[in-house]
Homo-oligomer: A and B are copies of this chain.
């Protein structure tokens, strides 16, 4: 399989240090320790790679998250207190430049920092919370409830029928782009059930035989993308226009041509000429896998 975006991180997350405040402080004070610099959530770059810097002697442990160790060297990111504004063109360009292993490190840092910025208070009692566990949790100062970084499972899938795959277009997509349909998995359903529900809700398509293909972390802000293929019972579409601007059935040749293009599309809403998501999105991997089958 194609390398999957945001996977392949090389850091050992060193779980025991999350339960060892002294060890955590010692790692932060290690002269070899490295700090990932994020400016408004965009990774600082150095020669096409993630930019790391040293850590100040007066660094406050509670302001840092331990990303993990590589070759014995501790790697940290700093909590900023400000939620992410979204994705910018600069960040997307930076992501295109990163190797997947480095993008994985960035993804973990971005998701955890943004979770802290959005969870300064206890959902249970409303009081202020503070970081603990080496930046991998927050504890309520009033009721003591412990909170841990949230990961939202999202299903992203192709329905297939008679050699064609169902792709959809959201209004916010760049011109000409089509992608796999997707939606948040809800409490009380399996991955397979979420896939079937979303395909029916968004496109009116009933499916059977849902197959898992691959997964990826998606740090905008903190999803787990679960990519699947399902067999559609027929090819009739009832498109939910509040979710999708358009949905089309495309052949393997269509997808191969789109994957061979520049990925941006050209604004045409033609099944044989469309743009695909960027290589770091699992929809890209999913389309590649399907087209190769």
Footprint of B on A, CB under 8 Å?
4, 6-7, 9, 13, 15, 19, 83, 104-105, 107-109, 111-112, 115, 118-128, 136, 147-153, 184-193, 197, 201, 212, 214-217, 219, 222, 224, 226, 242
Is the pair B111, A187 in contact by a Cβ cutoff of 8 Å? Answer: yes
Q: Which residues of B contact A105 (CB under 8 A)?
A: 188
Is the pair A188, B123 in contact by a Cβ cutoff of 8 Å? Answer: no
Is the pair A125, B115 in contact by a Cβ cutoff of 8 Å? Answer: no
**Central interface residue in A9, A128, A190, by most chain B CB within 10 Å:** A190
Is the pair B128, A119 in contact by a Cβ cutoff of 8 Å? Answer: no
Complex: A222 Cα to B83 Cα, angstroms = 25
Q: Which residues of B contact A15 (CB under 8 A)?
A: 201
Q: CB within 8 A of A107: which of B112, B128, B188?
A: B188
Complex: A189 Cα to B123 Cα, angstroms = 25
Name the distance in Å between A16's Cβ and chain B's nearest Cβ.
8
Q: A112-B187, A121-B126, A185-B224 are in contact. List 15 more A-B contacts (CB 8 A).
A: A6-B190, A7-B189, A7-B193, A9-B193, A107-B187, A112-B188, A118-B123, A121-B122, A122-B126, A150-B150, A151-B152, A187-B222, A190-B215, A190-B216, A191-B215
Is the pair B191, A224 in contact by a Cβ cutoff of 8 Å? Answer: yes
**Central interface residue in A7, A107, A184, A193, by most chain B CB within 10 Å:** A193
Q: Which residues of B contact A120 (CB under 8 A)?
A: 123-126
Q: Which residues of B contact A150 (CB under 8 A)?
A: 150, 152
Is the pair A126, B124 in contact by a Cβ cutoff of 8 Å? Answer: no
Q: Which residues of B contact A197 (CB under 8 A)?
A: 13
Q: Which residues of B contact A152 (CB under 8 A)?
A: 150-151
| Nearest residue, chain B, Cβ from A126 | B121
The 6 lowest CB-CB distance pairs between A and B, nearest first, are: A108-B188, A121-B126, A111-B187, A212-B212, A191-B215, A119-B123
